[in-house]
Structure 1
Amino acid sequence: MLRWFKKTLFIFLCFGLLAVVLFFFLEVAARLYQSHIEKHNPFIIAANKGEELPYREMRTENDFQSLLSSKMQGSDRKNENEPKLHPDTRILLNDWLDSKGFSPEKRMKLREDFRSWSTQTRDYYACLTHEAVIVFNAENTIRNYFGSDASYFEGYQRSITLAYLHQTGILGRIYEALKEVRHTNKTVTLTLPWSEHIPGSPVFTAYCLPGIRTGSGWAYDYLFVCMHPDEISRQDSTEIDSASEWEKKHFRYKPDFQQDSEGTFDTNSLGFRDQERKMPKERGTFRILCIGDDSTVEGSHNNRTYPALMEQKLSATFPGKNIEVINAGIAGITASDMTQRFFDYASLEPDLVLLQPGASDLLHLYNRRWTNFLPSISVAARLLFSGIFAPSASSFSDSLKRSQGTALEILCFAFTHTNIPVMLLALPYPDSDRVTRDERQFLKWQSKSALFFPAFSFSDYIGFVKTENLLLQEKAARYHIPFVPMEQGLKDDPAFFGDCFHLTQKGIERKADMACAILEPMIEKGYSAE
């Protein structure tokens, strides 16, 4: 028996040693290959030197009307799939619009009503208030989760999330609150520090409410965690960095911020990367509002963003007409956060809104610590198994529909019910069939190394973008609003992309030209009617 055990142990040790040696050689080979690419790829060399990228000259279609009109979904197109809102959901949305948000007292009343609502109304409430709502049973098991971060409690990610919450002591605090709620049958308020050991880490306020108990039956209990950026405090908070443009990161820029004297990145008194605008709007002004994330706000200077270029081009096309194009983009903002800024957008009195949710929602589901775990510590894993922990196409689609989809429906409902015309713009991406080997290597390198996303997979990302664009098209059809397939005029030339997520200045100019080509007939018709 002892001899058999030693023999088995020896075999396992041999296989283990062989695996270590194999991994070592794979890692060395991967690092040599990566080093070779970085030394010989002309795009990576140019990027490291800060030089212009050596893209090929490619012929691209400039007849934007013919390029987009056949694929553009119009607002007059009827669709049998009308938005089906539960009566409670419609009441909630109308109340939110009429009150321009919910007061703290109103939200506490809504939390009590939450317990008897439908699943749809619960999803809308979580998005409108930017709260995470966790439903517990009597055994303290999570039965449901509502909010934009619901995917953290799905699949294998659920175990990782619960393990972290247990390690930081957050789960223990929640269990104590649940115990008190069940004993007193009253609401308990608690604070949840994300980490007590990391200075500046967020501290959340939460409310634990008892379920509706009838007879001897046990009801679920509810935890409402306030996730709105303005409601999150910081441990050991210090003064805001004066060199930073952020008031609330990925949510709001500082008002009247000036990065330098050259207009590289300036904000107006409203905290947008735009020039000062007159409020209320002057009579006869046609005001276009551009909303989005990096895809909207990006540009080498304030006057080189796509909204600024649009204003210059449209003003030249319609001399004597007062046309304004406001850049309300915020880098990294998600569709859920856009719903929190809706009343800021509406206060600008836009005549037309161009809404382009960018890659932020997509990356929120894709670029995660668990997905990046192996690729972040091993170059071999980065090259060979980058997408091994990425979400599947079906799970990504389901998560995106629940997070971004709900927010998009709220935004579409809000704009249409406040009589503000809106257009949804598709997210551009480089065509995988048109890029060369060097260009593909550069785009992957830029995303993995420069953008700190080691698990990035070119094919996975393109698939996820197409899924997001299909979701945008679906929401546009449901609310009978125009959908503009912007990727049609951008994907054919890799020179339009600095990486898979951001456009080069050439791409930004192309995007502005496309938007102007679509809007010029509409503006001309509008002025003629006036």
Structure 2
Amino acid sequence: QKRPWPMVNGQNDGFAEFLLDEEQRARYRGRGKSTAKLTPLSPEDEMAARIPFFFSSEAPERYIFANVFGLHIFRLRGDGALTKSYSVDAYDGSAVLADYAGADVGRRILDALSEGISWNGNVSFLPGADSENPASFGYCLATDGNTEDAQDLWIFFRNEEKTAHVPAESLWELPFTTYKKHATRRARVGVLGLAEEYYINNHGFRDWDVILPKPRGVFRIACVGASTTEEGVTNDLTYPAILEALLNQRLEDNSVDVINCGISGMNSMKHRMRFPDYMMLEPDLLVVYIAANDICHQLLPRWISQADAQQKRLRRSRFITHYMNRFLLPSDGEMREAIARHSMSHLRYIIREAEKRDVKTALCSFAAPNPALLSRGECAYYDYLTMQEWGGKWVTFGGYLRILDMYNEALKRLCAEENALYIPVAEQLQGGAFYFGDICHLRNPGIQRKAEIIADALETQIGSVSREDHPPTE
């Protein structure tokens, strides 16, 4: 690891030769994937899969659902009155459909209701004004039970305030939540400064297109995470793609699909909201790798804003901020309780709901640079990054690592409680600037090493399961 600092990686620097060999990659690509474009998942099918999740959720999660997916959600009465909302703050129940959908659309929907609409289960779709938009399902009418019960009718449609600002040329459908299906980008500069090539598949993930129904004999893994799952200079050089190649190489076939479900900016709460989307992929196993966004963009802002008067006074001292950082944050007990309440509760939901569908879950501990392996300059660099880009100016790199240790402890404890597989990525991905470009994103050698650690943890289990429960195709 004696290299110039700051380090500069080439596009493919640090990968094993076989990972750069196109013939080898094609040989070990899962047979449940297609390099040719397949029909993209329709917005109607996508929304229909999410509706049961909405109705099974409590009120707080329903508000989050509306916000995450950029939706207006109202209870609709037959005369057009909107009696309840999960998308409008402090809604008083006085609006009518025309107020939010427009007079023409409101009249058309009410006419369709009076004349009788065609139901598919408990949902029905009516086209919207932007019917040419491939991401729009128009207007979704849904009930949580009897389609004849006019008091139980809900309407879902796009909240233009949430979606209108997305540029037409963007990869995003909804920023930091969903990508446009079959979007492509070349020379997209990633967080570590490398030019990345993106292809978004038929389900809106950075991977090759997914074949559904899943072919017989395929064991399918969905890798759930954020930018630390999504990252890589090409789709074939992300950790999920490398994991797929490693597993199939070791099993000497191509019966394992590993789908990269990483989306930049995602956190545990958003993953809970997107759980139905993951299930549509027909996975046998979820592999979850998250922490940084929960800690830095959910927990830390809350803790910093809740600082007491003494902590605010202590912030004025650079010495205290750098060398006594723990005194600027809540107690360890309070932080552990918040991690359990805000992060582990969402992961527990995912584990339990996946289990109901005979899908197993593996949680990975989250890796970070090891201070013992860093030079003084490298420590200062990670400290600077933490305070400028991740933790805020009152949280140091050491403070982040202390919270991350608590988060990883909570992950391990949750796996023990829920009988889920725990994969010790943090414990085994030990390194400094050779592996880590910042406090969480990996350079090419780190991406490959993470894939190897996860492959080691899964190889025996997948080998036995895929042969017993997923016999090869004749």
Q: What TM-score bracket applies, with the shorter chain setting the length? A: 0.5 to 0.7
1:359 and 2:292 correspond: yes
Task: Give, as a single letter, the amino acid of the residue that structure 1 aligns with 2:171.
Answer: E
SS state at 1:427 partner: coil
- Residue 284 of structure 1 corresponds to which residue in structure 2? 217
1:343 and 2:343 correspond: no
How far residue 236 of structure 1 moved from its aligned partner, in angstroms, is 9.3
- Residue 311 of structure 1 corresponds to which residue in structure 2? 244
- Residue 240 of structure 1 corresponds to which residue in structure 2? 166
> C-alpha deviations, 1:212-260, integer Å up to 9, x for none?
xxxxxxxxxxxxxxxxxx9884649645213322222221122111112
Verify the 8 A CA contact 1:288 1:325 in the aligned structure 2: yes
- Residue 185 of structure 2 corresponds to which residue in structure 1? 259
Verify the 8 A CA contact 1:367 1:455 in the aligned structure 2: no
In 2, the alpha carbon distance for the partners of 1:509 and 1:431 equals 18
How far residue 439 of structure 1 moved from its aligned partner, in angstroms, is 1.6
Change (3 A) 1:375 1:234: farther
Verify the 8 A CA contact 1:387 1:457 in the aligned structure 2: no
1:101 and 2:35 correspond: no
In 1, the alpha carbon distance for the partners of 2:162 and 2:239 equals 39
- Residue 274 of structure 1 corresponds to which residue in structure 2? 207
| Equivalence map 1:388-407=2 (5 Å) | 389-407=328-346
1:417 and 2:356 correspond: yes
SS state at 1:270 partner: coil
How far residue 373 of structure 1 moved from its aligned partner, in angstroms, is 9.5
Change (3 A) 1:232 1:470: farther
In 2, the alpha carbon distance for the partners of 1:422 and 1:512 equals 17
In 2, the alpha carbon distance for the partners of 1:293 and 1:511 equals 15
- Residue 429 of structure 2 corresponds to which residue in structure 1? 490
How far residue 98 of structure 1 moved from its aligned partner, in angstroms, is 11
1:426 and 2:371 correspond: no
In 1, the alpha carbon distance for the partners of 2:225 and 2:458 equals 18
1:461 and 2:404 correspond: no
How far residue 127 of structure 1 moved from its aligned partner, in angstroms, is 5.8
SS state at 1:433 partner: helix
How far residue 280 of structure 1 moved from its aligned partner, in angstroms, is 1.0
Task: Give, as a single letter, the amino acid of the residue that structure 2 aligns with 1:474.
Answer: R
SS state at 1:312 partner: helix
Greater C-alpha Rg: 1
SS state at 1:274 partner: coil
Task: Give, as a single letter, the amino acid of the residue that structure 1 aligns with 2:218.
Answer: T
How far residue 374 of structure 1 moved from its aligned partner, in angstroms, is 9.9
- Residue 267 of structure 2 corresponds to which residue in structure 1? 334
SS state at 1:496 partner: coil
Verify the 8 A CA contact 1:287 1:351 in the aligned structure 2: yes
- Residue 81 of structure 1 corresponds to which residue in structure 2? none
In 1, the alpha carbon distance for the partners of 2:175 and 2:347 equals 21
Task: Give, as a single letter, the amino acid of the residue that structure 2 aligns with 1:100.
Answer: P
Verify the 8 A CA contact 2:166 2:174 in the aligned structure 1: no
Q: Normalising by the residue count of structure 2, what TM-score does the alignment of the two structures yield? A: 0.63
Structure 2 stretches lacking a partner, 5+ long = 15-48, 69-81, 94-155, 188-194
How far residue 375 of structure 1 moved from its aligned partner, in angstroms, is 12
> C-alpha deviations, 1:476-512, integer Å up to 9, x for none?
1111111112111113444211111212221111001
In 1, the alpha carbon distance for the partners of 2:161 and 2:315 equals 28
In 2, the alpha carbon distance for the partners of 1:385 and 1:291 equals 35
How far residue 279 of structure 1 moved from its aligned partner, in angstroms, is 1.0
In 1, the alpha carbon distance for the partners of 2:367 and 2:399 equals 15
> C-alpha deviations, 1:370-400, integer Å up to 9, x for none?
4899999998897578666444423222222
Task: Give, as a single letter, the amino acid of the residue that structure 1 aligns with 2:462.
Answer: I
Match of 1:438 among 377, 380, 389: 377
> C-alpha deviations, 1:70-116, integer Å up to 9, x for none?
xxxxxxxxxxxxxxxxxxxxxxxxxxx9973235xxx8xxxxxxxxx
% identical aligned pairs: 24
Verify the 8 A CA contact 1:356 1:426 in the aligned structure 2: yes
In 2, the alpha carbon distance for the partners of 1:236 and 1:353 equals 29
Change (3 A) 1:522 1:399: same
SS state at 2:262 partner: coil
| Equivalence map 1:60-79=2 (5 Å) | none
SS state at 1:284 partner: coil
Verify the 8 A CA contact 2:248 2:254 in the aligned structure 1: yes
SS state at 2:199 partner: coil
Verify the 8 A CA contact 2:50 2:276 in the aligned structure 1: no
Task: Give, as a single letter, the amino acid of the residue that structure 2 aligns with 1:499.
Answer: D
Verify the 8 A CA contact 1:127 1:407 in the aligned structure 2: no
SS state at 1:260 partner: strand
Task: Give, as a single letter, the amino acid of the residue that structure 1 aligns with 2:181.
Answer: P
Task: Compare the two structures and name the one with the higher helix fraction.
Answer: 1
1:296 and 2:229 correspond: yes
CA-based RMSD of the aligned residues comes to 4.0
Change (3 A) 1:460 1:452: closer
- Residue 447 of structure 1 corresponds to which residue in structure 2? 386
How far residue 322 of structure 1 moved from its aligned partner, in angstroms, is 2.4
Change (3 A) 1:516 1:259: same
How far residue 131 of structure 1 moved from its aligned partner, in angstroms, is 4.1
Structure 1 stretches lacking a partner, 5+ long = 1-40, 58-96, 108-123, 133-146, 149-186, 192-202, 210-229
In 1, the alpha carbon distance for the partners of 2:238 and 2:184 equals 16
1:504 and 2:428 correspond: no
How far residue 427 of structure 1 moved from its aligned partner, in angstroms, is 0.9
Verify the 8 A CA contact 1:295 1:358 in the aligned structure 2: no
- Residue 415 of structure 2 corresponds to which residue in structure 1? 476
Change (3 A) 1:339 1:450: closer
- Residue 250 of structure 1 corresponds to which residue in structure 2? 176
User: What is the number of residues matched between the two proteins?
Assistant: 344
How far residue 205 of structure 1 moved from its aligned partner, in angstroms, is 4.2
In 2, the alpha carbon distance for the partners of 1:302 and 1:466 equals 30
